[in-house]
Amino acid sequence: MMAEGMLDYLIPLAILILSPFIGGLLIGIDRKVTARIQNRAGPPIVQPFYDVLKLFGKEDKVVNKTYLVFGCAYLFTVILSLALLLFKYDLLITTFIFGLSFIFLVLAGYSTRSQFGYMGATRELMQMLTYEPILLFAVFLIRLVTGSFETDAIFKASEPLLFTLPLALLAIFVILPIKARKSPFDISEAHQEIAQGPETEYSGKYLGLLYIAHFFELIFVLWFVSLFYVKGFWLLPGWAMQALLMAAAYVFLIVVDNLTARLRVDQMLKQVFIVGMALLALNLIYIIATGRWIA
């Protein structure tokens, strides 16, 4: 009993500590796969770590102190929200704290007073305007079928969320590329047109910190997706199902990234809202019709 209680804390802690490494590896795999699809050799899988390490040895070139503070705040908030998610804190609060990390990134972008930072921050806000409603509606639907905003309720629910909220999961898949900053929604960091968006002015170790934040972010998003199947299935235990779901989401991300070209902001708004909201609405009708919601 005691050991189990300890494990409840140790496992999330271990995942939290490992997540930048896993995140970095996933990005390395992504680059390799993408390169193979484009018939290139591609960098080694551990290249993201080399990049970060190299950045930490570089000389700093900064514009002002404000955006550096917000950049670090962005990193800390992402780590905080991932920790909240892993330790099964209230899901609604976790989502809002994750949103706060983007507010920090936007403020960082604005406070450089650079043309690229400004454009990037505005676009980042538009992205937030696009994905946040979908995410919050999804959280609301999760609350409807589990009866609570507590993450624990998902684990205690009688059937996995995938059976009750399949379309909501699809809607989250639609916004995945936004959160992972991948094509077709890599709008805020469109490096061919606006350099690196809100991150343009970062260099040296501060850019390295942002990279690490992105690693954490990727794990957060994937873990969120994995909440949709946390029960054992046939011979597989619950954690294996979670890992499978995360893998599926990641493969989806890579495939979509390579298949599509970047969209404009207004196209993103329209397409994601129409598709995402329709999916969520259909799912809502489904759970109401089948009486699977808990008041």
Partner 1 sequence: MDGSLLLLSMTIVPALFGIICYLAPGYEVKKYVVILGAIVLTVASLLVLSGGSQLITVESIDLVGLSIPISPIILVLDYLLLLTFLWYGWKDKEYKAVLLAILQLIPLTYLELFMPKAAHAGAATFVIDQLAIVMGLIVSIIGSLILIYSIGYMRGDKHASSFFLAMMVFLGDMNALVFANDLAWMFFFWEVTTLCSFLLIRHYRDEASIKASDRALWMNLLGGVSLICGIVLIEHVYGTTFLSEIASGAGQSLLPAGAIALPFAFLAFGAFTKSALMPFNSWLTGAMVAPTPVSALLHSSTMVNAGVYLLIRLAPFIIGSYVSTMIAVIGGFSFMFCALLALSQTDSKRILAYSTISYLGLIAMCTGINTGLALTAAVALLAFHAVSKGLLFLCVGKVQHDIGARDIESMEGLVARMPLVAYIMVVGLISLMAPPFGVFVGKWLAFQSVSTFTSISLSLVDIFFIIFGSIFSVFYYSRWAGKLLATKPFTEIKPEHHEWYMELPLIVLGLGVFVTVALTTLFFSSLISLPPVYGLEPSKLVTGWSIQSAIGGFSPLGFLIAFLIIILVPVVAIKVPKTAITHTYACGTGEEPELGGGYFQDIIGEGVSLKYLDPVGVLLMIALFAAAVI
User: Rounded to the nearest whole angstrom, what is the least distance from the CB of residue 121 to partner 1 in the complex?
Assistant: 6
- Which residues 97-126 are close enough to bind partner 1 by CB under 8 A? 97, 99-100, 103, 106-107, 109-118, 121-122, 125
User: Rounded to the nearest whole angstrom, what is the least distance from the CB of residue 5 to partner 1 in the complex?
Assistant: 20
Sketch the per residue contact string, 45 through 84, with partner 1: x for CB under 8 A, - otherwise.
Answer: --------------xxxxxxxx-xx-xxx--xx--x----
| Long-range contacts of the stretch 40-49 (C-beta < 8 A, 24+) | 48/24, 48/211, 48/215, 49/21, 49/24
* Ramachandran category for residue 263: left, alpha or beta (phi over 0 → left; psi -120 to 50 → alpha): beta
Distances from the Cα of 62 to the Cα of 50, 201, 203, angstroms? 22, 7, 7
CA atoms within 13 A on the CB side of 233: 14
Which is closer to partner 1, CB of 31 or CB of 123? 123
User: Rounded to the nearest whole angstrom, what is the least distance from the CB of residue 159 to partner 1 in the complex?
Assistant: 19
What distance separates the 2 farthest-apart alpha carbons in the chain? 61
Which is closer to partner 1, CB of 204 or CB of 238? 204
User: Rounded to the nearest whole angstrom, what is the least distance from the CB of residue 34 to partner 1 in the complex?
Assistant: 26
Distances from the Cα of 89 to the Cα of 83, 94, 126, angstroms? 9, 7, 28
Say whether residue 167 binds partner 1 (CB under 8 A).
Answer: no
Query: What's phi and psi for 226, nearest 5 deg?
Result: -65, -15
Q: Which residues bind partner 1 (CB under 8 A)?
A: 59-66, 68-69, 71-73, 76-77, 80, 89-93, 96-97, 99-100, 103, 106-107, 109-118, 121-122, 125, 128-129, 132-133, 136-137, 140, 143-144, 147-150, 195, 200-201, 284, 288, 293, 295
